[in-house]
Structure 1
Amino acid sequence: MDSLYLLIPIAIVFVAIAIKLLLWAIDSGQYDDLDKEAWSILNEDKTAPKEDDDAR
């Protein structure tokens, strides 16, 4: 029973830190656009130089 007096406040502190980190991540835009990088690999890179048949 005495150990609960120590473990419960420690658990509350860990939960508070986790919530604060989650809110910081949401506020800083970490979850704004999750699909951008996934779709960018499928799109052609318009800045890449085209290959010449003569250069080979």
Structure 2
Amino acid sequence: MEILAILIPVSLFLGGIGLAAFFWAMRTKQFDDPEGDANRILIKDWDDRPRP
């Protein structure tokens, strides 16, 4: 039972880090164009450089 005194705060801390990383990714627009990646694999043109 004493191990729960350690595991619960550690799990809450790691969950908080994950939540902070998710909000950072949303704020820096990491998920801005999810449809573009899905449609890009269907285009037959070869492009070595990504479009800006």
Tell whether the structures are fold-level matches, with TM greater than 0.5: yes
Q: Give the distance between the partners of 1:44 and 1:5, measured in 2 at CA.
A: 57
Question: Paired residue for 1:19?
Answer: 19
Q: Give the distance between the partners of 2:32 and 2:3, measured in 1 at CA.
A: 42
Question: Paired residue for 2:37?
Answer: 37
Q: Give the distance between the partners of 2:39 and 2:29, measured in 1 at CA.
A: 19
Note the residue ranges of structure 1 that are not aligned, 5 or more in a row: 46-56
Q: Which structure's CA Rg is the greater one?
A: 1
> TM-score, normalised on structure 2?
0.71
CA RMSD of aligned residues (A): 1.6
- Segments of 4+ moved more than 3 angstroms: 40-45
Note the residue ranges of structure 2 that are not aligned, 5 or more in a row: 46-52
Q: How many residues are paired up?
A: 45
